[in-house]
Amino acid sequence: MDLIRLRKPSRKENRIIGKALAAYGSTIFLEDNVLLVREDTKDVYGLSKELECFLHNFPGLNLRCAGIKLGEVGKRFRFSIEGTFFLAKKDRKRVYTSNKGEMLFLYGRDIFASAITKCTRDVEENDTVMVCNGRGDILGIGKSRFSWERIGHLKRTEPDRVVVENLVDRGEYLRGEKIYNAF
């Protein structure tokens, strides 16, 4: 069995990841943690500095992964569900949904304007957004079809219009469907 190779992100990867973290107000994560990239998949893992030190002292370990998978890096950084819990701490680029919207979203459905209860003012058309329930728990990742201003308008005029496409949600694991590749 081949060893899994983890490496530090390249300068380009660091720039891509840093830009994504800045968009969600999460650059502080890098102060106490280290990022490693799995060479064969481009998965990005966040490790505590203590765990990185431990791994450095035992280079022959046969690893499957290390730390928390934060996402994947390519032309853009794509958050994983696990990554959203650690990285998306601030109230940025979030759409909040009703109880019914939450249930439908977790079943893989898109979110209609009528199910939106709140939307942060930084949401623009085609943004990647964190979809949250009324308590602020992150349910998954979606793509906004409209800006926050337009979502508010559609809520009143076209309640059955899809305003957020479901890219990945916490229910994916239970349904056993393929997790998203990119957005």
| Tokens of residue 86, six digits | 């650690």
Q: How far apart are the first and last CA of the chain?
A: 32
Angle (CA) 81 84 86, round 5°: 120
d(C-alpha 182, C-alpha 179), whole Å: 9
Contact 115, 133 (CB under 8 A): no
Q: Which residues of 59-89 are buried (b: 16+ CB within 10 A; e: fewer)?
A: eeeeeeebbbbbbbbeeebbbbbebbebbbe
Q: How is the chain split into domains, by residue range? A: 6-87, 94-175
Instruction: Output the pLDDT for position 183.
Output: 46
pTM over 0.85: no
pLDDT of residue 116: 96
Three-state DSSP class for residue 117: strand
Tens digit of each residue's pLDDT, the chain (183 residues): 455 678 899 999 999 999 988 887 788 888 888 998 988 889 999 888 888 888 778 777 766 667 888 889 999 898 888 888 777 667 788 999 999 999 999 999 999 999 999 999 999 999 989 999 999 888 999 999 999 999 988 888 899 999 999 998 887 766 665 555 544
What's the chain's length in residues? 183
Q: Do domains 6-87 and 94-175 have the same CATH topology?
A: no
Phi, psi of 23 (to 5 degrees): -60, -25
Helix (H, G, I), strand (E, B) or coil at 84: helix
> What single DSSP character describes residue 108?
T
- Residue 9 has, within 13 A of its CA and on its CB side, a CA count of 23
Fold of the domain spanning 6-87: Nuclear Transport Factor 2; Chain: A, (3.10.450)
CATH code at 94-175: 2.30.130.10
Q: Looking at this protein, which amino acid is placed at residue 35?
A: L
